[in-house]
Amino acid sequence: MNAIDLGVEFGAKTYVFWGGREGTESDATKDPITSIKRNREAMNFLCEYALDKKYDLKFALEAKPNEPRGDIYNSTTGHMLAFIATLYHPEMVGVNPEVAHEHMAGLNFTHGVAQAIDAGKLFHIDLNDQAFGRYDQDFRFGAVNLKSAFFLVKLLEDNKYDNSRHFDAHAYRTEDYEGVKDFARGCMRTYLILKNKAAQWNADQEIQSIVAEINASDGLMDQYFGKYSTAKANALKGQAFDRSAIASRGLKYERLDQLTNEVLLGVR
């Protein structure tokens, strides 16, 4: 509560919770359901505190699978989204997904962020980079996996994300003062380069014609879309599918992915 007060005093509109302690080394030590209930009670209490103080403040929950605890509760952005729906004031609570934290767990970060955007819960984001299965490396944005960084930037820009683009990262420990500035400049420059590359990808005629072909519909399945009905379900169960005809159509995913690489490598 003291930290919330201080943040508001400095003009903060979003308060990030990273529950780094909120986990366990051994499940012999505490009951996980009780722990989730305690966590919920704490978040409800703090929401009420902010409302009571009439703060113009939203909360953003940051998931992480482990470190410093052996296992941290609500370990991914998806867990956090499910948890938020159970709070008294879900409208004032969203997520702060961090690239490194989802990559530590081997997850597709872009998919986690997409789920947060779809839920209207992307209140903040922590950009950095990280190899799978390592300690929390917090590398410069794009330092490890440029392609996943590209699809993340493309997702944010295509969906007109308008909250802070925040870099939660640090320079290599080898750096002097100028090296730290290289690191900070690199984070921002890579984001902006990938933003340009996303615009190039969206404007590339060959790429867009493959995307259109992949997503083209012959209209045959239209009758099954939308709301459920018994008649629709019965008709769908009776629908015949020509497996050989469907499988004979090449989808050009290889070509599309290679063209993406060529955009990123600067040869297109």
Q: Which residues bind Mn ion (CB under 5 A)?
A: 98, 126, 168
- Residue 18 or 88 with smaller CB distance to Mn ion: 18
What is the Cα–Cα distance from 170 to 145, expressed in whole angstroms? 17
Q: Which is nearer to Mn ion, 23 or 201 (CB)?
A: 23
Q: Minimum distance between the CB of residue 166 and Mn ion, rounded to whole angstroms?
A: 8
Residue 79 or residue 89: which is nearer to Mn ion going by CB? 79
Rg (CA), the chain: 22
- Enumerate residues 6+ apart whose C-beta is below 8 A from 169: 100, 127, 128, 129, 138, 139, 140, 141, 183, 187
Pick 129 or 168: Cβ nearer Mn ion: 168
Rounded to the nearest whole angstrom, what is the least distance from the CB of residue 174 to Mn ion in the complex?
22
- Tokens 């919330």 belong to 4
Q: Which is nearer to Mn ion, 110 or 130 (CB)?
A: 130
Q: How far is the CB of 107 from Mn ion (least distance, A)?
A: 15
Report the run of H or E that residue 95 belongs to, with start and end.
strand 93-95
Nearest in space to 210 (alpha carbons), one of 199, 198, 200, 201: 201
Strand partners, 62: 18
CB of 116 to Mn ion, least distance (A): 14
H/E stretch holding 61 reads strand 58-62
| DSSP label of 18 | E
Residue in this structure with the two tokens 């902006």, named with its chain if needed: 192
For residue 14, what are the β-bridge partners?
58
Task: Name the minimum Å distance from CB 136 to Mn ion.
Answer: 9
Q: Which is nearer to Mn ion, 126 or 129 (CB)?
A: 126
Amino acid 6 reads: L
In the bound state with Mn ion, the residue whose beta carbon lies nearer, of 102 and 168, is 168
Structure letter (DSSP) for residue 211: H
CB of 145 to Mn ion, least distance (A): 17
Shortest Å distance, C-beta 130 to Mn ion: 11
Burial 61-70, CB ≥16 within 10 A → b, else e = bbbbbbeebe
Whole-number Å distance between alpha carbons of 71 and 66: 5
